Every structure is written in structure tokens, then in C-alpha cells.
């Protein structure tokens, strides 16, 4: 007795769902995650990968089956059936993708809000402790203190670092300790707030392991706040075409445990500032 | 039509004793007319196609240079300045001189008058002017490389970089893109007028082949969006030459406003490139599947939906720029929603193929390659619409892979399908199918080997537009370059096929594919004004399939049937 087509279709559908779920969960295409919200981005990516694999395999399978099963045999000059449409089917494949898209949209909005992408930047900076505002923004009356965008969930309480991008380097300034360096050091497990500005053209600050990227736009300071949660050295990559040496515009971020980080800060802090009140961000 | 009632030979038309045998009286278009200011829409279409293909070869050579540079992690094949010029020229040429002019100018001009039952476009002189803006703009752009260096700021030309790079190349780039945009607008006005006003009496809008709707939607996008790009580029040129500060932060300007204006055109530009391609696929598939186009009405509504949504998604290119948070939310959802009307079209095409009698020829196989590639690119597109994911992969090779799946794997595959499909009509000779299928296979393999691995590169930390990269990416880049080499080689069987078939190809006859639409109901190549007699009234362009009451194709033409469809 031949197996009914509906059973075969059902079996194929179940198999497809299992394969795409397995791929989404087990094929890792991302670099290691080194920031708190990176795992949320990776979880979103796994969902996207599962849906994508299922859709692509399903459509490809239908295409291949059609090409083999419905190919024109030699000598057959008849037409296929004159089917011009099928309303329930069309409603189905309009409604299902629409629902999936909306769920995905809400899901990614939730992640983005958790990362701090929906923060109101200029509200919190006025709430921030005076010394942070003074130190990190320089002159409070300066129009450049207006923050134009970015990602910030730390409510201005994070450890600040000023990042200046220029052709073709990143410069890091630690305002509380008042020193400048070419290599970004960050404390493990503590929220940090990068205040990014550009001296010439548009650059972008990207650390793949943090899953974070922010354009650094001249005239428009932006924030990028996150918590690094894995020790190690990671590349900082400029991701926006910024001129001839764009490909070489890289730097390094070192995530180290708070004690080593403190030592590094003290070692680099100029002597005059070392006598100032406790520079520790955790105070 | 009941093709079952027709003889097996492709030359199934019975000679009609009432009409003179048109081969006797037809006068061929003389060769030199293809080099002049011809007003014939078919000549202009072929002028667009050949010019576009020339620039495709130039842009492809530039792509080859990029892939050679990326074989090694060091910048060692050309200087860094030259590399940026090459990638700028590659993007600009492929978009503005190959895909947009070919899917719109070439196939739009060749087919739309046939489909509406007209003898030419509404404004033939404007049509010729639009084409003749193309070669000067293209050669101007190429010449900039030799006079002081081409533009180096990418095809996006973001200020302030585009203000600080050498001015001559950037200004020539702007003038050239303005000319090409103007040509595009002239063409679009012509298509709108032709589709709306030049339809043969008795032919309703909802009886038109899908390509007409695609051209109508595309042309609306061109007319609405291209002037915005023109405005932005004129302001940019003033920043460069006149020292104004519209986009220059050093003078109080705002660099992000340029990005809004640029993408207000350049995102719809994606649909300006793919909607006509969608239309072409909707024409090609039913003929080679011997079935009606599935879901005719829903295809039209999804075109209109794409046109509308296409205008309100531009800021998804700017998720990492300084945009207000609510904008990111709005543009995430608007962008992802476009997948719905687009998905409808793909499901409809699959349903068109299902249970058909598929002729596995080059045209159909290229369309199937297109479906696979575009679905892939669409899936990565929905992923890119999700802000948290986009923040990670924006401006990386993931994006490069994504948009090549859309514009190359999508649109360029359709251009080849369309060439295999309409070559017999335009030339009177068939292309060689063995070479054609070989071309399709090589293109599909080369394309996927070249661009599939680039997704991984982007996810793992390789930004786009770099001449040098982290050595850990070398192997994957080399695989990608091998794919690019295969792609380059795949052009050879095609070129050989075209040259050989023009000269010695098998005669095609008037209607080798037994198609219903009006361009097949005349000689191959068609006479100057398309039909020697009245334009045929084709009210059911997808009248394939074994319906009982259909009329054979011979009865739907001729003077006595002017009123047949009313």
C-alpha cells in the first residue's frame, strides 16, 4: 500500500523542523562572547538561524522536487493544470510570515532595550554625579555635551572612558585619572561607558566579541555602555570606511580582573593626579 | 489557449491566408541604427543591454582586482588609495551602469510597448535622450581614474570623508551619478506614461503582464526617490567646491542628514533593481512551466506593498549612526515587514512551478538559481533588520554577502534568464542550450562559493571595504576569491554562445516557447512598429494550462478581434 502524500509531507515537515532547530542550537558561527549582552544577541541569532535554515531548506527542497518531479518529459507538449490561485493557501503564507516577523520584532526590541539602545541619553547625563559629568564631558555648557545616540543602560553610573577616533587610530582618555593611552583596558564585570567622538571623518568602534558597534561621528558625541565579562585581549576594529588606511585602523581592548585593572590605572596615572581623591570607579 | 490542440512543433502557427507572409515585407533594422539616435524602443532596449553589459565586464574586472587584493591579508596588490577607488567604481558601475539601466532600460524598453499593445514608448525622443546620457556618464566616471584619481569614498560617498578625499574624482563621480539619475527619471516618466496611457483599446490594467506592473511600481519609486539623491549630491558638491557646510561638521553641518537623504534614494534603489527582475521572472516561469502565473492579483498587491514599504525603511542602513531610539524600532519592524509581500511573490512562483511541465532550459534554471539566492539574501535581510544583530554585523562582510545575494544572485541571475528567454525574439536565433546550462551551473557554483563564506567572515570580525585583514581570515578569503574566478570564467561560455548564436544559431521562429504574450505574436526579430497589422489583444497573458474553453493563439490576433476581449 503506498504511503499517502499527506503523511510524507508531515514527516518531511517534522524532519525539517528538527534539522533547523538542531542547526540553530549546535552550529556556532559567532566568535566568543565577552560582554553581558552578547549572549542575548547570540540567542537572537540562534533563533534567526533556525528560522532561516528551515525556510531555506524547505524552499530549496520544494524547488528541487519540482525540477525533478515536474520536469517536462520528451515528447510531452501538453500544458500543466490551469491553476490560477488558491485563496486559503495565499492567506496562509501571508499570515504566517507576518506573525513570525512581528514576534521577531518584539523579541529583538526587548533585547535592544535591555542592552540600553532605547535610553534617553541627555536625560541621564544631567542626573549624573557632578564629578563624572565634569570629568567626562569637559565643559558642561559646551554644545558638544549633547549626546546624539548610542547604547547606554548604565544610567551614567558606569566607569567612563573617552574614546577619540581619528585617521587612523583610536585614542583612549581616562578622565578620572587624566591620562591617555592607545590601548583600551577595561575592568572585568563592571559597567563601563565609552564616550565616543571623532576628530575628522566618520569611524566606527567595533569589538566583535562584545557584539557592539557604534559609529563615531564628528560633531555628534555618542555613548556606548556595556559590561565586559570575559578576560582577554580583543580587537577594536574601525568598521566605517575612513580613508586609505581604514583596513589598518585597529586597536586592542584588554579585559582584566579589577585588581590588575587598578594596578594598571595606578601605574599609568600621572603623579599629580595620583594624589587626588580616590580615583576608584567602584567607590 | 489549448496547447493540447496544437501540433507538437514549436512552429505551431498555421499560416493565415488573410495576412501577407510577414517575412517577405519585413525590413530589418540596419546595423548602424544601433549606434545612432534611434527612436525605436527595441533598438534602445538593446542599446541599453549592450552598454550595460560592457560596464558589467568593467565592474567585474574591478571586482576581480578586489578579490586578488584580498587573497593575502596584506595590502600588496595595489596601493590603498587605488583600492578605495576600485571599490567605489565597482559599486557605482554595477548599480548605476549595469543593473538599473539593464533591468529598467533594456528589458523595460524592449517589452513594455509590446505588453501594452503599443508601437513604441509614449515619448520616443525622451527615451533616446535617456539612453544617450548613459555612455557619457559612464565614460566620464571611468575617465576620473585617469585624471587625478577616481572617487575614494565608496558608492555611499559619506561626508566628511567625501569632502576630504581628492575633490576632482569626487566631483566627477557626483556629475556622473546625477546624469545617470536623470536618465533613470526620464525613463521612469516614460514607463508610467506608457503603461497608463498607451494601452491598446480593450486592454485593462488588471489584464497586463506582471512586468508592466513591476515597471509601474519601479518607476513610481524612481520618480519619488531619485530627486532626493540628486538634491543631496548637489549639496555635497557645494560642500566640496564652494566651502559650504551642509554636511561638514567642521562648519556646523550634520553628516548624518546626508545619510538620511542618501538612503532615502538608495534603499528604494534596491527595489528599483529587484522589482523589474521580479516582473521578468513572472513572465518567464509560466511559459516554461506551462501553467498560469499563480496568484496574479496578490502579485500586483505585493508589488504595491513593496513600493510603499520600500520608501519607509531607509534608516535601517543607519542603526549604528546617531539616530533616535524610536527610529530604530520603527525601521526594524518596517524593514522586516517587507519580507511579507516579498515572500508572497516567492511562494507564488513556487506554486507556479508546482505540477507544471518544466522545461529545464537555461532561462528556467537561471530563474531557479535566482529563487534560491534571493531567498537566502532575503533571510539574511530579515536578520539584518533586527537591530541587536545588525549592530554586530553592520558594515561587515556579512552585509557584503547579503546584498550580493540580492543584487547579484537575485537580479543578475534574472538578467541572464531574460537574455536566454528573449534572445530568440530579438535576434531570430536560439542560444545554445548546452552552453547556456553550463553557464548557469558555473555562475551558480561560482557565485555561492564566492559569497556564501563571506557571511562567516562578517560574523567573526572582518569589516567591509578593507584592503588588509586579520590573517585568520585568509583561507576563507581565498575560497571566496576562487569563487570569483569561477564567476569570471562563467562569462566566457555566455559570450561565446551569444557571438556564435548570432551568427550560426538555430532559427528560432516567431514563437519558440509557445508563449501567449504579445511580443511573441509577431516575427523574430519584430518589425519596426512591432506588428505589421493591428496589435494583438492579449487579455490573458498567462493563459497556459489545459482549460477546456480556451482559444488557440491564432484566434486572438488580427483585425477582426479588436473587440474580442471586451
Q: Please give the average per-residue pLDDT across B52-66, as a whole number.
A: 96
Burial category of B75 from C-beta neighbours within 10 Å (exposed 0-12, middle 13-18, buried 19 and up): buried
Closest CA to B61 of B80, B81, B78: B78
pLDDT single digits (tens) B35-58: 889 999 999 999 999 999 999 999
Evaluate if residue B555 carries a pLDDT over 50: no
Closest CA to B133 of B57, B81, B184, B63: B184
Q: Give the pLDDT score at A149.
A: 73
Q: Please give the average per-residue pLDDT across B514-542, as a whole number.
A: 90
Q: Is A17 on the interface with B (CB under 8 A)?
A: no
The CA distance from A241 to A203, in Å, is 7
The CA distance from A234 to B461, in Å, is 11
Q: Give the pLDDT score at B20.
A: 45
Q: Give the pLDDT score at B559.
A: 41
Q: Which residues of B touch A41 (CB under 8 A)?
A: 388-389, 391-392
Stated pTM of the model: 0.89
pLDDT single digits (tens) B390-411: 999 999 999 999 999 999 999 9
Check if the interface score ipTM surpasses 0.85: yes
Q: Which of B358, B394, B544 is closest, CB to CB, to A72?
A: B358
Q: Give the pLDDT score at B214.
A: 97
Q: Please give the average per-residue pLDDT across B326-343, as a whole number.
A: 89
Evaluate if residue B243 carries a pLDDT over 60: yes
Q: Which residues of B touch A39 (CB under 8 A)?
A: none
- Main-chain dihedrals φ then ψ at residue A198, nearest 5 degrees: -115, 145
Q: In the beta sheet, which residues pair with residue A170? A: A165
Asked if A56 lies within 8 A of B376 by C-beta distance, the reply is yes
Q: Nine-digit cell at B342?
A: 516579498
Q: Give the pLDDT score at A123.
A: 53
Buried-state track A31-65, b at ≥16 Cβ within 10 A, e below 16: bebbbbbbebbbebbbbbbbbbbbbbebbeebbee
Handedness of CA B323, B326, B327, B329 (dihedral sign): positive
Q: Give the pLDDT score at B556.
A: 42
Q: Give the pLDDT score at B244.
A: 92
The average confidence (pLDDT) of chain B is 89
Q: Give the pLDDT score at A47.
A: 93
Phi-psi region for residue A35, left (φ > 0), alpha (ψ -120 to 50) or beta? beta
Q: Give the pLDDT score at A156.
A: 63
Say if residues B378 and B340 touch (Cβ distance below 8 Å): no
Residue by residue, pLDDT tens for chain A (283 residues) are 677 778 888 898 899 999 999 988 888 899 999 999 899 999 999 999 999 999 999 999 999 999 999 998 888 888 888 888 888 889 999 999 999 999 998 898 889 888 887 776 665 444 344 444 444 444 444 555 677 777 776 666 789 999 999 999 999 999 988 889 999 999 999 999 999 999 999 999 999 999 999 999 998 888 889 999 999 999 999 999 999 999 999 999 999 999 999 999 998 887 654 444 454 444 3
Say if residues A165 and A194 touch (Cβ distance below 8 Å): no
Substitution target in B262, B384, B388 with the highest count of A β-carbons within 10 Å is B388
Find residues 35-94 of chain A whose CB sits inside 8 Å of chain B: 37, 40-41, 44-45, 48, 51-52, 55-56, 59-60, 62-63, 66-67, 70-72, 75-86, 89-90, 93-94
Asked if B371 lies within 8 A of A63 by C-beta distance, the reply is yes
Q: Nine-digit cell at B298?
A: 496578490
Least reliable range by pLDDT among A109-113, B62-66, B475-479? A109-113
Q: Which of B81, B356, B372 is closest, CB to CB, to A60?
A: B372
* B358 DSSP assignment: B
Q: Nine-digit cell at A151?
A: 547604547
Q: Is A182 on the interface with B (CB under 8 A)?
A: no
CA-based nearest distance B371→chain A, Å:
9
Q: Which residues of B touch A50 (CB under 8 A)?
A: none
Closest-approach residue (CA) in chain A for B392: A211
Closest-approach residue (CA) in chain B for A247: B466
Q: Which of A31, A81, A85 is closest, CB to CB, to B461?
A: A31
Q: Give the pLDDT score at A113.
A: 86
Least reliable range by pLDDT among A142-151, A164-173, B307-316, B333-342? A142-151
Q: Give the pLDDT score at A238.
A: 95
Interface A–B counts its CB contacts (< 8 A) at 296
Q: Please give the average per-residue pLDDT across B292-318, as a whole number.
A: 93
Q: Give the pLDDT score at B8.
A: 38
Q: Please give the average per-residue pLDDT across B269-286, as a whole number.
A: 96
pLDDT single digits (tens) A162-185: 999 999 999 999 998 888 999 999
Please give the torsion angle defined by the CA atoms of residues B92, B93, B98 and B99, in that order, rounded to the nearest 10 degrees.
-20
Q: Give the pLDDT score at A128.
A: 41
pLDDT single digits (tens) B113-153: 999 999 999 999 999 999 999 999 999 999 999 988 999 99
Asked if B161 lies within 8 A of A56 by C-beta distance, the reply is no
Asked if A45 lies within 8 A of B355 by C-beta distance, the reply is no
pLDDT single digits (tens) B181-224: 999 999 999 999 999 999 999 999 999 999 999 999 999 999 99
Q: Which residues of B touch A61 (CB under 8 A)?
A: none
CA atoms within 13 A on the CB side of A22: 6
CA-based nearest distance B33→chain A, Å:
39
Amino acid at each position: 500500500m503506498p504511503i499517502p502524500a499527506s503523511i510524507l509531507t508531515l514527516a518531511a515537515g517534522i524532519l525539517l523542523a528538527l534539522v533547523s532547530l538542531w542547526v540553530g542550537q549546535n552550529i556556532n558561527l559567532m566568535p566568543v562572547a565577552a560582554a553581558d549582552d552578547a549572549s542575548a544577541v547570540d540567542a537572537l541569532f540562534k533563533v534567526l538561524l533556525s528560522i532561516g535554515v528551515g525556510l531555506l531548506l524547505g524552499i530549496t527542497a520544494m524547488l528541487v522536487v519540482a525540477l525533478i518531479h515536474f520536469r517536462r518529459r520528451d515528447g510531452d507538449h501538453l500544458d500543466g493544470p490551469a491553476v490560477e490561485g488558491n485563496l486559503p493557501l495565499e492567506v496562509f503564507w501571508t499570515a504566517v510570515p507576518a506573525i513570525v516577523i512581528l514576534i521577531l520584532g518584539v523579541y529583538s526590541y526587548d533585547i535592544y532595550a535591555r542592552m540600553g539602545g532605547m535610553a534617553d541619553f541627555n536625560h541621564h547625563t544631567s542626573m549624573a554625579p557632578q564629578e563624572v559629568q565634569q570629568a567626562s564631558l569637559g565643559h558642561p555648557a559646551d554644545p558638544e555635551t549633547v549626546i546624539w545616540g548610542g547604547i547606554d543602560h548604565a544610567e551614567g553610573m558606569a566607569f567612563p572612558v573617552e574614546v577619540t577616533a581619528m585617521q587612523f587610530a583610536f585614542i583612549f582618555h581616562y578622565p578620572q585619572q587624566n591620562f591617555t593611552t592607545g590601548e583600551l583596558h577595561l575592568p572585568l564585570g563592571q559597567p563601563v561607558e565609552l564616550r565616543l567622538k571623532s576628530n575628522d571623518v566618520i569611524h566606527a568602534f567595533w569589538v566583535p566579541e562584545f557584539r557592539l558597534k557604534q559609529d563615531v561621528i564628528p560633531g555628534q558625541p555618542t555613548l556606548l555602555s556595556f559590561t565586559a565579562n570575559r578576560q582577554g585581549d580583543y580587537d577594536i576594529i574601525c568598521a566605517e570606511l575612513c580613508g586609505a588606511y581604514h583596513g589598518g585602523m585597529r586597536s586592542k581592548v584588554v579585559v582584566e580582573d579589577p585588581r590588575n585593572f587598578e594596578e594598571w590605572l595606578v601605574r599609568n596615572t600621572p603623579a599629580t593626579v595620583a594624589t587626588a581623591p580616590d580615583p576608584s570607579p567602584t567607590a | 489557449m489549448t496547447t493540447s490542440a496544437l501540433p507538437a512543433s514549436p512552429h505551431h502557427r498555421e499560416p493565415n491566408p488573410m495576412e501577407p507572409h510577414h517575412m517577405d515585407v519585413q525590413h530589418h533594422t540596419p546595423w548602424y541604427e544601433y549606434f545612432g539616435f534611434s527612436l525605436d524602443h527595441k533598438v534602445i532596449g538593446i542599446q541599453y543591454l549592450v552598454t550595460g553589459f560592457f560596464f558589467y565586464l568593467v565592474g567585474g574586472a574591478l571586482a576581480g582586482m578586489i578579490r586578488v587584493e584580498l587573497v593575502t591579508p596584506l595590502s600588496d596588490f595595489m596601493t590603498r588609495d587605488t583600492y578605495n577607488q576600485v571599490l567605489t567604481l565597482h559599486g557605482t558601475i554595477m548599480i548605476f551602469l549595469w543593473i538599473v539601466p539593464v533591468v529598467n532600460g533594456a528589458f523595460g524598453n524592449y517589452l513594455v510597448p509590446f505588453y501594452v499593445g503599443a508601437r513604441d514608448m509614449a515619448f520616443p525622443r525622451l527615451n533616446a535622450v535617456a539612453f544617450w546620457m548613459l555612455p557619457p556618464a559612464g565614460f566620464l566616471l571611468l575617465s576620473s581614474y585617469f585624471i587625478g584619481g577616481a572617487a575614494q569614498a565608496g558608492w555611499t560617498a559619506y561626508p566628511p570623508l567625501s569632502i576630504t578625499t581628492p575633490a576632482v574624482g569626487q566631483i566627477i563621480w557626483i556629475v556622473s551619478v546625477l546624469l545617470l539619475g536623470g536618465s533613470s527619471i526620464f525613463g521612469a516618466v516614460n514607463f508610467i506614461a506608457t503603461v497608463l496611457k498607451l494601452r491598446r483599446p480593450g486592454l485593462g490594467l488588471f489584464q497586463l503582464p506582471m512586468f508592466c506592473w513591476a515597471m509601474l511600481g519601479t518607476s513610481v519609486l524612481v520618480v519619488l526617490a531619485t530627486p532626493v539623491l540628486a538634491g543631496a549630491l548637489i549639496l555635497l558638491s557645494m560642500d566640496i567646491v564652494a566651502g559650504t557646510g551642509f554636511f561638514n561638521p567642521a562648519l556646523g553641518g550634520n553628516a548624518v542628514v546626508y545619510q538620511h537623504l542618501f538612503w532615502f534614494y538608495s534603499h528604494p534603489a534596491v527595489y528599483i533593481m529587484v522589482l523589474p527582475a521580479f516582473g521578468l521572472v513572472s513572465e518567464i516561469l509560466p511559459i516554461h512551466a506551462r501553467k498560469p502565473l499563480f496568484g496574479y492579483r496578490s502579485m500586483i498587491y505585493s508589488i504595491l506593498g513593496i513600493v510603499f514599504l520600500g520608501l519607509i525603511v531607509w534608516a535601517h542602513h543607519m542603526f549604528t549612526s546617531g539616530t533616535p531610539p524610536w527610529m530604530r524600532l520603527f525601521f526594524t519592524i518596517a524593514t522586516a515587514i517587507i519580507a511579507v509581500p516579498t515572500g508572497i511573490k516567492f511562494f507564488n512562483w513556487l506554486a507556479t512551478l508546482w505540477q507544471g511541465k518544466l522545461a529545464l532550459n537555461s532561462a528556467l534554471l537561471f530563474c531557479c538559481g535566482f529563487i534560491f539566492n534571493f531567498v537566502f539574501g532575503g533571510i539574511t535581510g530579515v536578520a539584518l533588520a533586527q537591530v541587536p544583530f545588525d549592530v554586530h554585523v553592520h558594515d561587515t562582510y556579512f552585509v557584503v554577502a547579503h546584498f550580493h545575494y540580492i543584487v547579484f544572485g537575485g537580479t543578475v541571475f534574472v538578467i541572464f534568464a531574460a537574455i536566454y528567454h528573449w534572445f530568440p525574439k530579438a535576434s531570430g536565433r536560439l542560444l545554445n542550450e548546452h552552453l547556456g546550462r553550463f553557464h548557469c551551473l558555473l555562475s551558480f557554483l561560482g557565485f555561492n562559493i564566492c559569497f556564501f563564506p563571506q557571511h562567516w567572515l562578517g560574523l567573526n570580525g572582518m569589516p567591509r571595504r578593507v584592503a588588509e585583514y586579520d590573517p585568520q581570515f585568509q583561507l576563507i578569503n581565498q575560497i571566496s576569491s576562487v569563487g570569483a574566478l569561477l564567476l569570471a570564467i562563467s562569462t566566457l561560455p555566455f559570450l561565446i554562445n551569444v557571438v556564435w548564436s548570432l551568427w550560426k544559431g538555430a532559427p528560432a521562429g516567431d514563437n519558440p516557447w509557445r508563449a501567449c504574450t504579445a511580443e511573441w505574436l509577431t516575427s523574430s526579430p519584430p518589425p519596426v512598429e512591432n506588428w505589421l497589422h493591428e496589435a494583438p489583444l492579449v487579455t490573458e497573458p498567462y493563459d497556459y494550462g489545459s482549460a477546456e474553453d480556451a482559444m488557440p493563439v491564432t484566434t486572438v490576433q488580427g483585425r477582426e478581434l479588436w473587440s474580442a476581449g471586451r
